[in-house]
Structure 1
Amino acid sequence: MTIMCRLRFVCLLLFIFRSLVSSEELPTLQSGPDADLYWSHRDQILVEESRISLGGQLNFEYGEREANDVLMAAKWAEIDRGFRDPSSFLPARNFLSVADEIRRSPTFRIIQAMPKGAALHVHSKAFVSTDFVFGNITFRDNLYICQPPDGSFQFEFRRSGGSEVTCASSNGWELLAELRANASIVKDVNTRIRDAMIVPDPATAYCNINVSWTAFRNVSKTIRSLLVYKPVLEDYVYQGLTELYRDNVFYIELRITFQNLYDLDGNVYGPLDIVRLYKNTTDRFIRDHPDFVGARLIFAPRRSDSEAREQIKQYFVTFAAVQKEFPDFVVGFDIVGQEDTGHPLTWLLKELRTIAPSTRFFFHAGETNWNGLSTDGNLIDAVLLNTTRIGHGFAVSKHPRVLELVVEREVAIELNPISNQVLCFCGDMRNHPASFLFARNYPVVVSSDDPAIWGASGLSYDFYEAFVGIMSRSADIRALKQLAINSIKYSAMPNEEKNRAYAIWQDKWAKFITDLGQRSGAPIITHT
């Protein structure tokens, strides 16, 4: 291109830019005394910002304005109280220390009643409440416990006799029922078991991401040791679907790893048996609850730094086998675990080329505070590998070209606010990078990651944190509606199933709007 052509091109760009600007320059304090014009332009900017935000392009439909009045009265009361007294603003504090207060929030209760659609980023080991895992599973017969010195617990079901699993405790394996029969220690035993199922509050227990991940892995190990007993896993999956359904979620895509199951008769069950268990349990739940749309699995082995390439290759063999047997139920592949200490996606490129071209990826990527390292570089590799969605994407705002690509390719970013806070990526939700994604209506969904590990369940807690803590004060019921719509749109459901899901959701949404709108004009009772 000649210099003259370049100059003409620059002039053309300047002309286009000028034409996009209103013929009437935006006023400044120095441009004149017309205060009305200044405020008019200020209002115009606010209107435009609202229009381009999440839900901003939706129109209020029948009854939604009245319902929105109720919702916003609750939200504004909570935010304005926090503005006057920042220490009272719940999303600014760690979820582990304010969960009980959130449950008393009028805004949270409205969100609980709202049909939220689908949960698209949840790990199977932690999608059932601690109340059930502790209160039901640990009180079953034939359960033995090992108490190693690191503070975690191992569990094993068996009729009697020794275990093939080594117990790193001087007491060895102990029958839990016998420990609980001792009145002098039962309270302490129960407290320590329950505490081992929830990560400690980072404000008092740890202060950096690596330490928080260590605590997270210890809790995960404790819970997983209960879930490899086949009768427990069957009840656990059904209970998880029940808790989602009660939280007004009607579809889930679960990340799952395959750890062989066993029963008391000595039988061992491999990956195909595990998928069949999830499928049969889901089908049974749908028969019991016809307005529950369903569940699907994403195979998600760990990206641990110690995993050898041969192990990675075996993961792909396992994935191919289960997807061949259950092509409509096992829908994709992911690699999970702490990104900062695990292998980046570039380490897997050679192996990824061996996987079937039709494979859908749902990569965790950018779950980090770093910028310019291999961890946030996973975002680039995820989009180059044609990922269907991006898990977390916490660092995505640092990669403008990746943001352009997720819009062009409609790659949804799976946001998990509470997980990011508990694992020490973001202490105050007001500083969460998703605020930018919400402000510009990027393709996003909100999910809950591993809710049981921080004492939550369902989706409502994360929706609350996103709506009250991360979004603008002016974000209204349309933003919540758009999140629900997005959860269906960006799911792995085939189009016919999406249409059915959307129809079911619309009916539930209409009822929710009617019920909420009937409260219009009633006083908002705030918690203290």
Structure 2
Amino acid sequence: MDDYHAQRKQLIADDRALRIDHAAQKEISEEERRADKMLRHIRSSEAVSVWSATQPLKHLHGSQQLFPGMAFLTARETIVGTKLFDILSKMPKGGLLHAHHAAMVRVDVLLKLALSQPAIHIRVPAVLCSATIGTALPEFRGLSRAEWTTHPSITDQRYAPDTWVPIQNARSNFSHALGGPEGFDRWFTNIMTINPSEAYGTHNTTGEIWKKFQSTFIAAQGLIFFEPISTEYIREFFYSSIEDGISYVEVRMAFHQKYMTGADGERNVPHRVWLQLYDHILKEVKADMKQQGREDEFVGSKIIYSILRIITPEEIEWYLEDCIAMKQEFPHLISGFDLIGHEDTLLPLIYYAESLLRFVERQKELGIEIPFMFHAGETLGDGTVADMNLYDAILLGTKRIGHGFSLIKHPKLMQICRERDICVEVCPISNEILRLTGSMPMHPLPAVMNQGVHVALCSDDPAVFGNMGLTFDFYQVFVASEVNNLTTLHELVWDSIRYSALSHEEKECAFEKLERRWNIFVRYILDTYGGAA
């Protein structure tokens, strides 16, 4: 048996040598080893004390038992009460490389911003009542002063469908039968988010849940793309990211609307002004963090120019030229280009290949670089049109792959990702809520990491899913594996900067700041939980 055990030990070592965190295991400090032991002890203890099936079952929405990495919307309330979540909330996260601008601010904050603007009006296609409240999708818009109304309610039987009502009136006069003003707040929240009953019950297929998912963006766009709200929205997005330990963000901003609505209620704010606003607030926040003595906590932000994959090849030409113009005017902000939207139902990358190849040549002519950061493989398909996006993304030279959920089905593409150092932006909670997987133990992420493909953990659309920041995604990934440890977390954090669009000099600066913060984090674990192991 001694020989067998020796072979077994060697086989395990050879297998794990392929992991992305293998090399770093040899370089970790003694303090990190001790902190890692404590983290793993807490994870093991809470697997029994928190996640044991013998514990009282809360908010299960049809689930039969608790387990680490279970369905997020069911587990969220339990997660936030754990020691491990508290520890990870204090961990520096590095960069957030896959997040959509239109879903980055908590819904209650968005509502507060909307209520602060007298110009914001709401209309619905039918009088809201118990029969329509679950199906009538509202539209919000900042109107010009001449268009303001004094209509009192969207729940009064005298309401004419599609008539604009000031949002303050709509809330104040919301039917008592539907909960009054607090009922309006709950309705607003339900419109803008996915709840457990939808994710795990009524919309429990990828097609159905995507319908609900897309409706949240349709409802929110009239608020987020109203200039007076947009400026405060961006500011809130930066500060909330910083508070969760995120020091750098590459946000995918959708530019398919050619104009934002200005303070005057007219759609007259062009893309270049969007970027001017973004740049102005970014500089303000960086200056504020420096003044607070917290300069290490915020490196900055860049934008991945994105459009929905619903337009024609002829139409995309305008956006590609616009992207180039934005890059030329704001070279420090525009970091890449992407096509976004539901891959299973919208147009594939091959549909745009000719235009995208010309886009690459145009960049060479102009001496600029706008890397592709394509969504690809966000599907359960194998050989489907959506799954085939992975081949085109790689052939077109993508620097990162957004989601890549079906990548594990393609050994040659996995090999190419290793050889070309293509990082996969993995969004674990998003994938689970959008029904690509039932839980974290079922997610393909460990297989991707175990085969040496580098990964950046991302939250995707946290305002819709309730996974604000990155702590929840790190938590779900960490508890779902006995192999993952502090070194794994370290490598995921470092890869989020390593594979970012920051320049070499910017990365060096970011790493220095990150190293200081990481050492403080390790010291915190030792000082706070020294008696746990």
Q: TM-score, normalised by structure 1?
A: 0.87
Distance 1:400 1:412, change over 3 A: same
Distance 1:162 1:265, change over 3 A: closer
Whether the 8 Å CA contact 2:148–2:166 is kept in 1: the answer is no
Q: CA deviation at 1:266?
A: 4.6
5 Å-filtered alignment, 1:400-419, equals 400-419=411-430
Identify the residue that residue 227 of structure 1 maps to in structure 2.
224
Counterpart of 1:196 in 2: which secondary structure? Answer: helix
Q: CA deviation at 1:163?
A: 7.4
Counterpart of 1:87 in 2: which secondary structure? Answer: coil
Distance 1:134 1:99, change over 3 A: farther
1:444 matched to 2:444? The reply is: no
Q: CA deviation at 1:90?
A: 4.3
Q: Paired residue for 2:99, among 113, 122, 136?
A: 122
5 Å-filtered alignment, 1:207-246, equals 207-246=204-243
Identify the residue that residue 285 of structure 1 maps to in structure 2.
285
Q: Paired residue for 2:482, among 473, 481, 502?
A: 473
5 Å-filtered alignment, 1:36-435, equals 36-58=2-24, 59-80=27-48, 82=51, 87-93=65-71, 95-148=72-125, 150-158=135-143, 160-162=145-147, 170=161, 172-182=163-173, 184=176, 185-201=180-196, 202-258=199-255, 259=257, 260-266=259-265, 268-289=268-289, 290-291=295-296, 292-304=298-310, 307-355=311-359, 356-357=363-364, 358-435=369-446
Q: Which amino acid aligns with 1:386?
A: G
Q: CA deviation at 1:84?
A: 6.1
Counterpart of 2:92 in 1: which secondary structure? Answer: coil
Identify the residue that residue 464 of structure 1 maps to in structure 2.
475
Q: CA deviation at 1:119?
A: 0.3
Which whole-Å CA distance do the structure 2 matches of 1:523 and 1:72 have between them?
10
Whether the 8 Å CA contact 2:36–2:486 is kept in 1: the answer is yes
Whether the 8 Å CA contact 1:129–1:456 is kept in 2: the answer is no
Task: Identify the range of structure 1 (278-287 vs 55-64) with the bigger mean alpha-carbon deviation.
Answer: 55-64
Which whole-Å CA distance do the structure 2 matches of 1:84 and 1:483 have between them?
30
Whether the 8 Å CA contact 1:300–1:336 is kept in 2: the answer is yes
CA deviations over 1:193-215 (Å, ceiling 9, x no partner): 11111013211221211111110
Whether the 8 Å CA contact 1:79–1:473 is kept in 2: the answer is no
Whether the 8 Å CA contact 2:35–2:526 is kept in 1: the answer is yes
Distance 1:514 1:79, change over 3 A: same
Q: CA deviation at 1:273?
A: 0.5
Q: Aligned pairs, how many?
A: 483
Distance 1:138 1:522, change over 3 A: farther
Distance 1:408 1:269, change over 3 A: same
Q: CA deviation at 1:159?
A: 5.6
Identify the residue that residue 515 of structure 1 maps to in structure 2.
524
Q: Which amino acid aligns with 2:106?
A: S
Q: CA deviation at 1:308?
A: 2.3
CA deviations over 1:325-365 (Å, ceiling 9, x no partner): 11221011100000011111111111112212433100000
Q: CA deviation at 1:80?
A: 4.9
CA deviations over 1:357-402 (Å, ceiling 9, x no partner): 4331000000000001221111111111110100000000111111
Counterpart of 1:413 in 2: which secondary structure? Answer: strand
Distance 1:169 1:209, change over 3 A: farther
Q: CA deviation at 1:228?
A: 1.3
Q: Which amino acid aligns with 2:433?
A: V
Pick 1 or 2: higher relative contact order, CA cutoff 8 A, min separation 6.
1
Which whole-Å CA distance do the structure 2 matches of 1:195 and 1:266 have between them?
27
Q: Which amino acid aligns with 1:449?
A: D
Task: Identify the range of structure 1 (99-108 vs 478-487) with the bigger mean alpha-carbon deviation.
Answer: 99-108
Q: Which amino acid aligns with 1:264?
A: A
Distance 1:190 1:503, change over 3 A: same
CA deviations over 1:180-202 (Å, ceiling 9, x no partner): 33373323222111111101321
Counterpart of 1:39 in 2: which secondary structure? Answer: helix
Which whole-Å CA distance do the structure 2 matches of 1:255 and 1:101 have between them?
31
Q: CA deviation at 1:83?
A: 6.8
Which whole-Å CA distance do the structure 2 matches of 1:273 and 1:52 have between them?
47
Whether the 8 Å CA contact 1:367–1:394 is kept in 2: the answer is yes
Which whole-Å CA distance do the structure 2 matches of 1:222 and 1:158 have between them?
16
Q: Paired residue for 1:503, among 512, 526, 529?
A: 512
Distance 1:523 1:141, change over 3 A: farther
Task: Identify the range of structure 1 (481-490 vs 95-104) with the bigger mean alpha-carbon deviation.
Answer: 95-104
Which whole-Å CA distance do the structure 1 matches of 2:302 and 2:73 have between them?
29
Q: Which amino acid aligns with 2:280?
A: N
Distance 1:106 1:135, change over 3 A: farther
Distance 1:144 1:60, change over 3 A: same
CA deviations over 1:224-243 (Å, ceiling 9, x no partner): 11011111111111110101
Q: Greater Rg, structure 1 or structure 2?
A: 1
Q: Which structure 1 segments of 5+ residues have no match?
A: 1-34
Counterpart of 2:95 in 1: which secondary structure? Answer: strand
Distance 1:412 1:37, change over 3 A: same
CA deviations over 1:69-109 (Å, ceiling 9, x no partner): 2211121223356476682114222x222212111122222
Counterpart of 1:480 in 2: which secondary structure? Answer: helix
Distance 1:517 1:315, change over 3 A: same
Task: Identify the range of structure 1 (62-71 vs 177-186) with the bigger mean alpha-carbon deviation.
Answer: 177-186
Task: Identify the range of structure 1 (484-493 vs 180-189) with the bigger mean alpha-carbon deviation.
Answer: 180-189
Q: Which amino acid aligns with 1:195?
A: N
Counterpart of 1:457 in 2: which secondary structure? Answer: coil
Whether the 8 Å CA contact 1:70–1:519 is kept in 2: the answer is no
Q: Which amino acid aligns with 1:49?
A: D
Which whole-Å CA distance do the structure 2 matches of 1:49 and 1:134 have between them?
50
CA deviations over 1:409-446 (Å, ceiling 9, x no partner): 11100000011011111112111111201223311111
Whether the 8 Å CA contact 1:130–1:455 is kept in 2: the answer is no
Which whole-Å CA distance do the structure 1 matches of 2:3 and 2:528 have between them?
38
Q: CA deviation at 1:124?
A: 0.4
Q: Which amino acid aligns with 1:51?
A: A
Whether the 8 Å CA contact 1:143–1:175 is kept in 2: the answer is yes
Q: Which amino acid aligns with 2:29?
A: E
Which whole-Å CA distance do the structure 2 matches of 1:140 and 1:467 have between them?
42
